[in-house]
Chains A and B, each alone.
Chain A
Amino acid sequence: DVQLVESGGGLVQPGGSLRLSCAASGFTLRSYWMTWVRQAPGKGLEWVANIRQDGSEKVYVDSVKGRFTISRDNAKNSLFLQLNSLRVEDTAVYYCARDVGYAVDFWGQGTLVTVSS
């Protein structure tokens, strides 16, 4: 079965950093684009970033450009999201998800990032 398990969330002060990880199993990670999506408290889903199978192409939503970095290690079946210069408005549940071309077919359960002083 396809499984995506996020980790690395937590409480961080504004301006701080976190690194989120996503462990993938049950499929060949290197065959898929992968995506991060977030949901702020009481808000809807927001696509954050995605990355090509070999890591050669990365796309970000404007609000995180220059602050967040998506990466992957196919050998370790892992996806990452480095969050720098965090803002209060980055507080959200962050989901790792598998991209199947203009849609996302499997999602993890999410990891909560709280940015607060």
Chain B
Amino acid sequence: IVLTQSPGTLSLSPGERATLSCRTSQSVATKYIAWYQHKPGQAPRLLFSGASIRATGIPDRFSGSGSGTDFTLTISRLEPEDFVVYYCQYYGQTFGQGTKVEVK
């Protein structure tokens, strides 16, 4: 299964809404999709497992959704610390190529 994240780079301003897409090459169960945030020089952080189950300590401005082949990570109002890279993952193995959220 191949994961395709889009866009590669998302240019937005603080306070705006971010919508990140992760598409799988075939339909998958939602329990197999996870999302991570990765800041430079730090360990990645789990945001969601099971496509929409928020991990401990993750602010509620982050939400995960989707089913079948289309999954979405939404950040309702971007904070300065949110401008980093996000990855989706399938089955605890295959990662998407990542989406970089940058300041417009």
Give me the interface of A with B, judged by CB distance under 8 Å.
33, 35, 37, 44-47, 50, 59, 61, 95, 99-110
Contacts and interface: CB of A to CB of B under 8 A. Distances in A.
B43 A105 contact: no
Contact of A103 (B42, B46, B85, B96): B46
A33 to B, nearest CB: 8
Contact of B91 (A44, A61, A102): A102
B44 A46 contact: no
Contacts of B44: 37, 45, 95, 104, 107
A42 B25 CA distance: 25
Contact of B92 (A44, A46, A104, A108): A104
B34 A104 contact: yes
Interface of B: 31-34, 36, 38, 42-46, 49-50, 55, 85, 87, 89, 91-98
Contact of A45 (B32, B36, B45): B36
B46 A109 contact: no
Given A95-B43, A107-B43, A108-B43, A102 B98 contact: no
Contacts of A101: 49, 92
B43 A47 contact: no
Contacts of B92: 33, 35, 47, 50, 99, 101-104
Contacts of A95: 43-44
B49 A47 contact: no
Given A45-B38, A45-B95, A102 B31 contact: yes
A109 B42 contact: yes
Contacts of A45: 36, 38, 44, 87, 89, 95, 98
